[in-house]
Structure 1
Amino acid sequence: MKTLKLFLSTAVLGTLAMGCTQEAEKPSEPKTLRQAYQDAFYIGTALNRFQIEESDSVMAEIVGKEFSSITAENMMKSMHIHPKRDTFNFEMADKFVALGEKYDMFVHGHTLVWHSQLSPWFGTIEDSLEFADATEKHIKDIASKYKGKIDSWDVVNEALNEDGSLRNSIFLQKMGEDYLASAFKWAAEADNGADLYYNDYNMTNPEKRQGAIAMVKNILDQGVKVDGIGMQGHWHLNSPSLEEIEQSILDYSALGVKVAITELDVSVLPNPWDLEGAEISQNFENSEGMNPYKDGLPDSIQVKLANRYKDIFSLFLKHKDKISRVTFWGVSDGQSWLNGFPIRGRTNYPLLFDRDLKPKAAYDSIMALKERFDEQQLAN
C-alpha cells in the first residue's frame, strides 16, 4: 500500500513537474507600454472623438492595452463642451471619462482656461466683472461635474509669450494677471482632489522657462494650489537638446511641483525658420521641400526617430521620481495634428504607431530601453 502511494505521489509530482515545465516553456505575452512603464510614470495618449467612441476595434485595443492615461485632444475645450453661455455639451466628455473607467486609466482634463478654441460667447462680454463671473462659473461647472472622475486638469493653457511675459489674451485684458491665480483657486474649490497643472509649449526655452517659474511661484506664494507643470513635448529630431529638456525638468521640479510631459510627438519634417512653437494660428505654404516623405519614411529617418525617442525616454527614466505622466499627442501617425501644422497637407510620422496601427521602431526602442533599465536596477 505504501509502495502504491509512493508510486502515485511520484507520478503526480512528475506530472506537475512536466506541467510546470510546459507552462514555463509557453511563450509569454509581450509586454505593453503600459506594463513596461507602470513603475515609472503614467504613459498616456490623446484621444479624438472616434477613439473615444471606439469606432475602430484595432485602435480601441491599442488604447486599452498600451496606455494608462488618457487626455481628450479637443472635446473638452470650451468651444466644444461649453458652446453657448447657458449650454453645456457633456456627451463626449462623459464618454471620455467612461472610457477611462472602463480601462482603469488616469484621466486628464484638457483644458479649463485657454485663449484659443475659446467659445465665441466669451468675446461678447464687455464688462470685466461679468467676464470674471462667467469664467469662474465655466471652471466650476465643469470641474465640479467631474469631481472624483477626472484625476488632473490643465487649468490654464499657454498663457505665456516666448520671452516669458504674459500673453495678451482676452483673460489678461478683462481680468488682469490675477486671472491666473483665480483660475487655479476656482478649480481647487470645485475639486480639490484633482491635480491642477499649468500647461504650455516651448517650455525648454530659457526665457519662457523663467517666466513660467516666476508665474507659478507667484500663484503658490498666494497660497493657491498648483500641483504641476505640463511641458508640451512638440519636439523635433534635433531640438530641443537633451540638456535643455533635463534642465527644465530640474528647474520646474525645484518649485516643489510635479512635472508632466504632455502632448509628446517628434516631427521628422523641416519647418519654416520663423515658426513659433505650437501656436496653432500659424500656417505656411506647402512645398516639395517641406514635405519630403509623402510616399513613406526612409529607413534612415526611422532609425533617427527611434534613437531620438530612446534618448528622450532615457532622460525621463533618469528623472522618473519627478515625472508624473508622459502623454503622446495621439495614437498613430495618421491621426497626428502635425500632418496639418504648420503646413497643411503634409505627411508626418511623429508617433509610435504607424498609419496601419503597427508599432514602429520608435516603439521598440523605448520598450527595449525600459527592459535594459529594469535589468540594471536589479543588478544594482
Structure 2
Amino acid sequence: MAQKESLKEVFKNDFLIGTALNSFQIQQKDTAANRLVLQHFNAITPENSMKATHLHPQWDKYNFTLSDQLVAYGRQHNIKINGHTLIWHSQLPAYVKNLNNADSLKQYMKDHISTLAGHYKGKVFSWDVVNEALEGDGSLRKSIFLKLLGDDYIIDAFRLTQQAAPDAELYYNDYNIEGLTKRRAAIALIKKIQAAGVRIDGIGVQGHWAAVHVPLADIEQSIQEFSALGIKVMFTELDLTVLPSPYKRDVVDVSQRTLPNTPATNPWPNGLPDFKQAELSKSYEDLFKLFLKYKDKIGRITFWGVHDGQSWLNNFPIAGRTNYPLLFDRSYQPKPAFYAVIATHHR
C-alpha cells in the first residue's frame, strides 16, 4: 500500500483526524513533523500552550504568543483547532492554587474564560471547557474549583464559554470515562449541564489505553450511551502504550511520576520487537473498525502526538522510557499500525 495515503483523506467522510502539537511544532521548528501534520491531519490540539500556567501566568498578564501561532497555523492550512483547556485542576499558576476565597476564584474563572475564549472567538472550532473533573470512583475531583465554588462550577464554566465563544463547540474531556463507573458519572454531569439550559456539544474520551488490552466493549458502550444524550463523541488524546504498567490499575493522573526506570519497566529502549509491533497494529485495527462502525456518532479522533519521540508516555509514569504508542516512529515514518488503520477503511 502506498505510503502517500493520507489519514485525513482516507477518513474524510467519517470523522476529523487530529494530532497534538508541542511548542516546537507550533513554531514550525520541527519540519519533518510539519510535513506529517499537513499530509495527515485536519484537526490540531495544543499539548500545553493554552493551559493556564503557560497562557495566563499572572493575574493580569496573558501570553498569547505561542497559542496565536497555533491558531494562525491552523487557519492558514484549513485545519480545525481544538482549544485545550479552559478549566483544569492541573498546570494552574501559583496565584490560582494559592487562592482561598470563592469570590477571587470566581473572578479568575470569569476573566480567564472570557479573555481566552473571547480572544479566539470565531477562530477556534471547539473548546475542552472542563478537563478531568471526575475522580476514579465517579465523585467530583477535590480540586480548588470544587472546594471553593461547589458542584456548579462546571455549569458556570460552560455558561461563560458559551457567552464568550457562541460559535465554538463545547466539550467535556476526561480519561477512563469509557469504563462503567466514570461513564455513569460523566453521563450524570452532562445531564446536569443540559438541565441547567447550558450548551454542551460533545464529550472527549481521552483514549490512553494499553495495546495489550484495549477495552473495546466499554468503548462501544460509551459511544452508544454518550451519543444517546444528543452530543458528539470525540476520542481526544489517543495513544496505546506498549510498555508494561508498573501499577496494578490504569493510572493517567499526571501527578503520579515516582517510579524507577529499570530494564523490567523499560524493556525495548532500542526498538520494538515484531510481536509487540503486531500487537499494536491489531489493537489500532480493532479500534478503527469500531470507530467506523459508529462514524455517524464520532466527530474526531485525535492522536496525542505526531510521532513516538514526542509522546508524553516516554516520561509517564516513569521518566526516560522508550515508548511506541503512535502511528509514526521516531524517524517520522509510518509504522505497521498506520497501514493497519488505513486498511480498515479499504475493507
The residue number in structure 1 matching 2:99 is: 125
Q: Does 1:227 align with 2:208?
A: no
Contact in 2 for aligned 1:201/1:277 (Cα 8 Å): no
Equivalents in 1 of 2:99, 2:2: separation in Å? 60
The residue number in structure 2 matching 1:347 is: 322
Contact in 2 for aligned 1:199/1:229 (Cα 8 Å): yes
SS at match of 2:319: coil
Provide, for residues 28-50 of structure 1, a one-character-per-residue CA deviation record: whole Å limited to 9, x for no partner: 99321111111000000000010
SS at match of 2:302: strand
Residue 203 of structure 1, CA deviation: 1.1
Match of 2:301 among 316, 326, 336: 326
Match of 2:132 among 155, 158, 162: 158
Q: Does 1:303 align with 2:278?
A: yes
Contact in 1 for aligned 2:234/2:299 (Cα 8 Å): yes
Which structure dedicates a bigger proportion of its chain to helix?
Answer: 1
User: How large is the RMSD of aligned CA atoms in angstroms?
Assistant: 1.3
Equivalents in 2 of 1:55, 1:49: separation in Å? 9
Contact in 1 for aligned 2:212/2:279 (Cα 8 Å): no
- Pairing 1:21-170 to 2, within 5 Å after superposition: 30-170=4-144
Return the index of the structure with the highest Cα Rg.
Answer: 1
Unaligned runs of 5+ in 2: none
Residue 276 of structure 1, CA deviation: 4.5
Equivalents in 2 of 1:38, 1:67: separation in Å? 10
Residue 125 of structure 1, CA deviation: 2.5
Residue 199 of structure 1, CA deviation: 0.3
The residue number in structure 2 matching 1:16 is: none
> RCO greater where, 1 or 2, for CA within 8 Å and sep 6 or more?
2
Identity of aligned residues (%): 49
**Under a length normalisation based on structure 2, what TM-score does the superposition of the two structures give?**
0.97
The residue number in structure 2 matching 1:362 is: 337
Q: Does 1:236 align with 2:233?
A: no
Contact in 2 for aligned 1:275/1:282 (Cα 8 Å): no
Equivalents in 2 of 1:203, 1:310: separation in Å? 21
Match of 2:247 among 254, 260, 273: 273
| Structure-2 change in CA distance of 1:330 and 1:308 (3 Å) | same
Provide, for residues 106-160 of structure 1, a one-character-per-residue CA deviation record: whole Å limited to 9, x for no partner: 1100000000001111123222112111111111100000000000000000000
| Structure-2 change in CA distance of 1:105 and 1:326 (3 Å) | same
Where has structure 1 moved over 3 Å in runs of 4 or more? Answer: 27-30
Residue 240 of structure 1, CA deviation: 3.7
For 2:60, the aligned partner's letter is D
Indicate the larger mover: 116-125 or 332-341. 116-125
SS at match of 1:330: coil
Equivalents in 1 of 2:114, 2:139: separation in Å? 27
Q: Does 1:187 align with 2:161?
A: yes
**Under a length normalisation based on structure 1, what TM-score does the superposition of the two structures give?**
0.89
For 1:282, the aligned partner's letter is Q
